[in-house]
C-alpha cells in the first residue's frame, strides 16, 4: 500500500476515531430528533427544528470527511459547525422568542451537555494538528 492510500485512514486513526464516533452519534441523534420534530410539530418552532436538521447534516459531513481523509472538507465542516453553535448560542439568549423549542445549538448546546460547543473546538484542534504533521 502506498503512502497516499494510507493517508485517508490516518486522519480517522487514534483520537480521530473518537471524534468520528461522536460526530456519528450526534448526526444520528440530532437528525432523528429533527426529523421527528419537523414531521410532528414544525409550525411550533421552524427555526429551531431547521437548525437542528442543519446541525445533523454538518455532523454527518464532518464525520464522512474525516473518515475519507478529506482534511480540507473536514476543516470547513467543523469551522461552519463552530460558527453555527456560537451564532445560534448567542442568538438563543439575545432573541429567545426565535427559539421557543431548543435546537441542538441553542444556549451553546446546553441540552447536549455543551458537547456541540466543545466538539468543533476539539475537532479543529485535532485537524489542524494533523495538518501540520
Residues 103-133: tens digit of each pLDDT? 999 999 999 999 999 999 999 999 999 887 6
Helix, strand or coil, per DSSP, at residue 1: coil
CA separation (Å) from 65 to 32, 72, 99? 21, 8, 30
Contacts 24+ apart (CB under 8 A), 70-73: 70/8, 71/11, 71/127, 71/130, 71/131
Does pLDDT of 101 surpass 60? yes
∠ CA 108-114-115, rounded to 5°: 120
The whole-number average pLDDT for the span 39-56 is 94
Q: Chain centroid to CA 66: how far?
A: 12
Question: What's the pLDDT band for 12 if we cut at 50, 70, 90?
Answer: confident
In the predicted model, is pLDDT for residue 2 greater than 50? Answer: no
> 67 and 97 in contact (C-beta within 8 Å)?
no
Domain boundaries, the chain: 7-132
Q: What is the mean pLDDT of residues 69-74?
A: 95
Average pLDDT over residues 53-70: 96
pLDDT at 119: 97
Q: Model confidence over 15-47: pLDDT tens digits?
A: 999 999 999 999 999 999 999 999 999 999 999
Amino acid at each position: 500500500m502506498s503512502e497516499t492510500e494510507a493517508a485517508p485512514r490516518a486522519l480517522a486513526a487514534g483520537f480521530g476515531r473518537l471524534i468520528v464516533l461522536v460526530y456519528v452519534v450526534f448526526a444520528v441523534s440530532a437528525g432523528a430528533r429533527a426529523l421527528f420534530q419537523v414531521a410532528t410539530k414544525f409550525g411550533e418552532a421552524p427555526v429551531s427544528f431547521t437548525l437542528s436538521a442543519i446541525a445533523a447534516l454538518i455532523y454527518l459531513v464532518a464525520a464522512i470527511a474525516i473518515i475519507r481523509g478529506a482534511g480540507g472538507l473536514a476543516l470547513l465542516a467543523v469551522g461552519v459547525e463552530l460558527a453555527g453553535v456560537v451564532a445560534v448560542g448567542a442568538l438563543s439568549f439575545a432573541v429567545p422568542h426565535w427559539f421557543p423549542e431548543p435546537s441542538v445549538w441553542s444556549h451553546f448546546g446546553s441540552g447536549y451537555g455543551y458537547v456541540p460547543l466543545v466538539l468543533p473546538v476539539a475537532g479543529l484542534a485535532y485537524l489542524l494538528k494533523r495538518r501540520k504533521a
